[in-house]
Amino acid sequence: MRREKEGVIQREKQREKEEGISLYFQSPRSQEGVHPDLAELFEIIEAEKPLTREDIEQEVESFIGQNLEKVVPIFFLSEPNQAEVIQKLGISQEDLRLLGVNYSIQMIDGQPKVCRLEEDSQGDLWFSQAVSASELITLAYAKANIRVDSRFKSPQATETIPRRYYLRSQGRYLCANDFGMKVWDEEEKKMVNGDPANLSPYLSTIKSQVDRIRENIEICSYGLIERFEDELAGSIRQKTSAEYLDYEQNQYVERTAREKAAKEFLQRLSSNPKEKELILTALPYQKFRNFLYFHPQTLVKRLGLSSQDPVSDYHNFERKAPRLFQLVRLPSKEETSGVTINYVYSEWHKKPVITTEEFNEHDINSLMTEVKNAVRDYLARKAIENEDEKIRQCCWKYLCSRGSASPYFYPDWQVYETVKALGVEKTQQGFGY
């Protein structure tokens, strides 16, 4: 009986030992310690509720909003001193190594600079020149918001995931189906799940949001920088009685004007929460305009401008075109109260769009007329593809190959309507070939 009891105790100890060893190998660990509560999550590569574009936007808006005093002066510099920026953002070689991304701090001209590891067509690796300010801020975001976990590989383990990226705001690891982790598949022509152990796609997505905010700041700060440059240049000319500034004086004016402008801009955002929110959440005008102009297929699909009959879609377009003009509106007086930043509101994106100057109804109509013509061209090309052989071949023959900025440019829809109105033979006679 005693021996049997001792055997039970020994087996229990052995079981506890094996469980302890198993837990040791299964528990993720980071520089912060061991995380046994994440052992099961480490192996889950698809999220039940994947991150969305809005989640990523909020990630960046929150980070930059909390670090305006560090970030804004960097955006105001025409040529940031990377050594100073790296120190200010607290980025180290160890941080880059832990993230497992293709960045490294290299000494260039005696100064530390963050460089990206590139690969040429021959497969040779080399370090690029110093990266942009937006990339540095992206890396600072990653350091602050992402913890890199790994775990010892048990002899019995079969998993091949070398590391996982724990997103602090979500309390979980980044997964293959999260927005930002997905990658483009050229064969399937769509976004597919990425590699949960590869952070590069996610950082590229974060950088695009950093760039969005940077562009907003540039739009809003242009006049401010210009004012300080004029004041400083005028002061120097008055003191020296010189008509023009020399190179060193111009450099001083640009650097000092940007420093003063950054300080005033920061004070403005600190005292005006509405303008701060605008800077962080809005789209820059050029990005908004390019989206509308270069994505007619998306507009057509979402606005119900297409059907199974592309030829009819084209002929019905004029009747449905007013839907396009509902995509953007002027903000109300209540919305612009206390705000000096010029903007319109995108009903499509459900967010403001910062403009370089104040917009009125005429400006909106001009923009949307431009978009309308781009959509009309798209519908015309779809209609041409579904016309009979003679009309199709005639249209393809005379479509313009020049860009819209060329003085010899003419839109595709004009060719289509000409062929439909005159017929193939008269169109050929009119073009003379």
Lowest mean pLDDT among 22-31, 33-42, 167-176: 22-31
pLDDT computed for residue 390 by the predictor: 94
Lowest mean pLDDT among 21-25, 70-74, 113-117, 229-233: 21-25
**Same domain (yes/no): 239, 139:** yes
Quick one: tokens of 388? 């009979």
**Same domain (yes/no): 182, 259:** yes
β pairing state of 125-130 and 111-119: antiparallel
Mean pLDDT of the chain: 90
pLDDT greater than 90 at residue 211? yes
**Same domain (yes/no): 114, 37:** yes
pLDDT greater than 50 at residue 431? yes
pLDDT computed for residue 13 by the predictor: 53
pLDDT greater than 80 at residue 278? yes
Q: Is residue 9 part of a domain?
A: no
Q: How far apart are CA 418 and CA 401, in angstroms?
A: 17
Quick one: tokens of 168? 């602090």
**Same domain (yes/no): 424, 343:** no
How many folded domains does the chain comprise? 3
**Same domain (yes/no): 310, 379:** yes
**Same domain (yes/no): 366, 392:** no
**Same domain (yes/no): 250, 362:** no
pLDDT greater than 70 at residue 325? yes
pLDDT greater than 60 at residue 11? no
pLDDT greater than 90 at residue 421? yes
- The sign of the CA dihedral 57, 62, 68, 70 is negative
Q: How far apart are CA 73 and CA 75, in angstroms?
A: 5
Determine the Cα angle at 178 with ends 173 and 180, to 5°: 105
β pairing state of 172-173 and 164-167: antiparallel
Lowest mean pLDDT among 156-160, 283-287, 404-408: 156-160
Q: How far apart are CA 296 and CA 368, in angstroms?
A: 12
**Same domain (yes/no): 77, 197:** yes
pLDDT computed for residue 266 by the predictor: 97
User: Per-residue pLDDT tens for 337-384?
Assistant: 999 999 999 999 999 999 999 999 999 999 999 999 999 999 999 999
Q: Is residue 14 part of a domain?
A: no
pLDDT greater than 70 at residue 157? no
Q: Is residue 1 part of a domain?
A: no
Structural domain containing residue 420? 388-433
Q: How far apart are CA 227 and CA 261, in angstroms?
A: 9
- The amino acid at residue 202 is Y
Q: How far apart are CA 339 and CA 345, in angstroms?
A: 14
Name the band, by pLDDT with cuts 50, 70 and 90, for residue 21.
Answer: very low
**Same domain (yes/no): 46, 131:** yes
**Same domain (yes/no): 272, 348:** no
Domain boundary among 247, 281, 315: 281
